[in-house]
Amino acid sequence: MRTIQLGRRRVGTLLAHAPMWRFSVPAIDEVGPTTYCELNSMLDADYPRGALNYWRSNFLAKLTDEAIDTMIECFRVCPSPLSELALEHVHGAVTRVGISDTTFPHRAEGYNFLVLSQWRDKAETDRCIAWARDTHAAMKPFMASGRYVNYLDHDETDDQVASAYGPNLRRLQTLKATYDPSNFFHMNQNIRPAPTA
């Protein structure tokens, strides 16, 4: 488990991590101050150069016992030791920002669920992608409507960009029509320009 707390060092560290320390004695306790650069690179070793990846994600409506049981059952059949399931807890400051104040509209407290399938042998590609898709499908009963744009993949079948930007999409399409009407910047998860009259 990785934990991050942003804020005043002394107060924040004590408040944020005290419940974990009461729960159990950790095998390794590396909680302490760090720089932004160190924080930004702390996961680099988990994603080695040359590894193959296929990700799926969705916000959860609620993190229920049934959702946790489903995650455990799906992970039991994970074909690669490099793969993982992750939960990103959305809470605190991010929930105090208005839905239309930035492009990111997902401001309710909750969790973003990720299936991170990763492997090295190309012969395992079909099997590892199938595991990610099957796991994502098994979690559908627990999912909310929103998606995080950085985790959308190239093979999404419906308009997942709309679920990533929600009510902000129309405003972003209008901006795109103003500053990039030819859709020159169209890679990744594209916001198409709004049609001009």
Are 33 and 120 in the same domain? no
pLDDT confidence bin for 12, thresholds 50/70/90? low
Are 171 and 137 in the same domain? yes
Strand (E) or helix (H) holding 23: helix 9-23
The answer to whether 65 and 121 have CB atoms below 8 angstroms apart is no
Domain assignment present for 191: no
Are 38 and 56 in the same domain? no
Are 104 and 26 in the same domain? no
pLDDT digits (tens, 9 = 90+) for 40-65: 888 888 889 999 999 999 999 999 99
Are 164 and 112 in the same domain? yes
Are 102 and 153 in the same domain? yes
pTM to 2 decimals? 0.80
Structure token pair of residue 56:
């799926």
Structural domain harbouring 100: 43-179
**Half-sphere exposure at residue 64, Cβ-oriented, CA atoms within 13 angstroms:** 12
β strands within the chain, DSSP E = 52-60, 84-90, 110-119
Are 119 and 145 in the same domain? yes
Beta bridge partners of 112: 59, 88
Domain assignment present for 195: no
Are 47 and 81 in the same domain? yes
Are 105 and 53 in the same domain? yes
Are 7 and 98 in the same domain? no
Are 38 and 51 in the same domain? no
Are 50 and 140 in the same domain? yes
**How many domains would you assign to the chain?**
2
pLDDT digits (tens, 9 = 90+) for 164-184: 999 999 999 999 999 999 999
Buried b (16+ CB within 10 A) or exposed e, 41-70: eeeeeeeeeeebebbbbbbbbeeeeebeeb
Domain assignment present for 76: yes
